Amino acid sequence: MPYKNNFTAQTQLKLSPFFERTSKLNESQEWRRWAGYLAATSYELTHENEYFAIRTKAGLLDITPLKKYIVEGPESEKLLNQLVTRNIAICKVGQVMYTPWCDEDGKVIDDGTIQRLSKDKFRITSAEPNLEWIQSNAIGMDVNVKDDSFSTAALALQGPNSRAILNSISTNNLDKLRFFWMMETTFGNIPVSISRTGYTGDLGYEIWINPNDALKVWDLLMDKGKSFGITPTGLHALDIARIEAGLILLDVDYISSRHALIESRKSSPYELGLGWAVKMNKNDFIGKSSLQKELNHASNWSFVGVEIEWLEFEKHYREVGLAPGLPQTAWRTSTPLYYKNEQIGYATSGTWSPLLKRYIALAHLKSTYAQKGSKLMFELKVEHFRKLTKATVVKTPFYNPERKRSCPK
């Protein structure tokens, strides 16, 4: 049942079925556009509390704006296997796979998750609209591709208490639900699908429901989650968490090959650190032959984590008489990285990690400079003047708690 919006607001943007609640909870009234929706930037005046909810309690995020597609029919596995770089044939019912998908030149169009709902039924999520792409590749196949974006509402419950909250509501216990698997259960009499997925790199779940049940599910979670510290969380907090988790964001860390004006703006999965998700031993998929060539010649670019060294960073500010100018929120401005005097890459997003107490960034580097431990220079603007400050290539995820993957004993 498509969701019928009953609220009005002075906006041309779409309103999620949770808007009735989120709009009242949003003290800051800070909103931003997300895939054509009005989405909360932060509920409180600053996002810090929401960030710590993700890492120490449980953050509740409205992720309805995600694009969702249902692919159903006898050839749905065949279609998806041609479309994406991972091997969907080994994805079991109830399993979820993260994967990029490419154009014929092996350049990434978008990335998202694929849920196997049954043998012949899948749900794909993506950042951008992909219906036309999926449908055009389905021509002549016995599959039905439909837009599920308005027929399914979704919440993310992320943080160490998320399992306990869901267990207090769900008919079925979630203790055995493994990382990147999903289950069907009910909240009272409301059917819900829960996947153990998320965009925070923490223990967390995503809940997929009929939009007509949205408010009831929200209220249940907020009510039962209260004693666990459940906190409505906005996009500012999420952005910090996803950088700590080393997860890429379309249009920030890479440009979809569909929109890239010039070839050099496009990236292959190898150039985005997603080589692990490219399965060259499966049958033909879109981009395979180009990716094979790249594999034979090694990629020009690598995607890495970078840590900006504290002592020198602090010194730059001290020299002008200022306290260290840490970013208040995660930034998304392309920032040059140098080796000696040569620019060898650029960071695409970065943040101060409030938990790790480290200044971290995600960056594209020419592959020769991308090995762990490489010493680079990061461009910094201190009181209107450009400085170079030391940075090091480090392993991602920056933050990777054991609870992300583990199940209770």
Partner 1 sequence: MKTYDVIVIGAGINGLVTASILGKKGKRVLILESRDKIGGIASSMEFTPGFTCNVVHDTIKWIDPRLMKILDLDTNGLQLVEPEILRVNLGDNSEHITFYRDIDKTINSIAKYSKKDSKRWEDFISYIKKLSQFLEKLYELPPPVLPNLGIKEVLGMRSLLSPIRKHGSQGVVDLLRVAPMMMPELADEWFENELLRSCISTAGIHHLSFGPYAAGTGYNLLHQHVHSNGLFHNIKFVKGGIEQFATVLKEVAERFNVEIQTSAKVISINTDQNVCNGVTLESGKKITAKQIVSALDPNNTFFNLVGPSNLTPDFRTQINNIRYRGSTARVHFALNKLPVVKGVNNEHLKTVFSISPSIEYLERASDAAKYGQIPDNPYIEFVIPSLLESNFAPKDKHVLSATIQYAPYHLRDTEWSDSIKDQLKNNIVDTLEKVIPNIRSIIKHTYILSPLDLENEFGITEGNLNHGEMTLDQFMFMRPTISSSQYRTPINNLFICGPGTHPGGGLHGTNGYNAAMEILK
Q: Which of 12, 140, 311, 323 binds partner 1 (CB under 8 A)?
A: 140
The distance of closest approach from Cβ of residue 144 to partner 1 in the complex, given in angstroms and rounded to an integer, is: 15
Q: Are 232 and 22 in contact (CB under 8 A)?
A: yes
Q: SS3 letters for the chain?
A: CCCCCCCCCCCCCECCCCHHHHHHHCCCCEEEEECCEEEEEECCCCCHHHHHHHHHCEEEEECCCCEEEEEECCCHHHHHHHHECCCHHHCCCCEEEEEEEECCCCCEEEEEEEEEEECCEEEEEECCCCHHHHHHHCCCCCCEEEECCCCCEEEEEECCCHHHHHHHHECCCCCCCCCCEEEEEEECCEEEEEECCCCCCCCEEEEEECHHHHHHHHHHHHHHHHHHCEEECCHHHHHHHHHHCCCCCECCCECCCCCCCCHHHCCCCHHHCCHHHCCCCCCCCCCHHHHHHHHHHCCCEEEEEEEECHHHHHHHHHHCCCCCCCCCCCECCCEEEEECCEEEEEEEEEEEECCCCEEEEEEEEEHHHCCCCCEEEEEEEECCEEEEEEEEEECCCCCCCHHHCCCCC
Q: Which of 139, 261, 262, 323 binds partner 1 (CB under 8 A)?
A: 139
- Toward partner 1, which CB reaches closer, 71 or 245? 71
Residue 136 found at the interface with partner 1 (CB under 8 A): yes
- Toward partner 1, which CB reaches closer, 56 or 137? 137
Q: Which of 23, 28, 56, 137 binds partner 1 (CB under 8 A)?
A: 137
Q: Which of 27, 104, 184, 251 binds partner 1 (CB under 8 A)?
A: 104
Residue 141 found at the interface with partner 1 (CB under 8 A): yes
**CA–CA separation, 278 vs 270, rounded Å?**
8
Residue 260 found at the interface with partner 1 (CB under 8 A): no
The distance of closest approach from Cβ of residue 138 to partner 1 in the complex, given in angstroms and rounded to an integer, is: 8
Residue 103 found at the interface with partner 1 (CB under 8 A): yes
Q: Are 202 and 160 in contact (CB under 8 A)?
A: yes
Binding segment toward partner 1, per CB under 8 A, in 17-25, 60-68, 281-289, 337-345? 281-289
Residue 82 found at the interface with partner 1 (CB under 8 A): yes
Binding segment toward partner 1, per CB under 8 A, in 137-145, 257-265, 303-311, 401-409? 137-145
- Toward partner 1, which CB reaches closer, 48 or 72? 72
Residues in the chain: 409
Encoded one letter per residue, x for contact with partner 1 by CB under 8 A and - for no contact, window 37-76 reads --------------------------------------x-
- Toward partner 1, which CB reaches closer, 10 or 136? 136
The distance of closest approach from Cβ of residue 278 to partner 1 in the complex, given in angstroms and rounded to an integer, is: 17
Binding segment toward partner 1, per CB under 8 A, in 26-34, 261-269, 282-290, 345-353? 282-290
- Toward partner 1, which CB reaches closer, 141 or 222? 141
What Rg do the C-alpha atoms of the chain give, in angstroms? 22
Residue 27 found at the interface with partner 1 (CB under 8 A): no
**CA–CA separation, 211 vs 153, rounded Å?**
5
The distance of closest approach from Cβ of residue 294 to partner 1 in the complex, given in angstroms and rounded to an integer, is: 17
- Toward partner 1, which CB reaches closer, 139 or 323? 139
How many residues at the interface with partner 1, by CB under 8 A?
Answer: 16
Residue 120 found at the interface with partner 1 (CB under 8 A): no
- Toward partner 1, which CB reaches closer, 132 or 342? 132
The distance of closest approach from Cβ of residue 21 to partner 1 in the complex, given in angstroms and rounded to an integer, is: 41
- Toward partner 1, which CB reaches closer, 141 or 295? 141
Interface contacts to partner 1, rule CB under 8 A: 75, 78-79, 82, 103-104, 133, 136-141, 283-284, 286
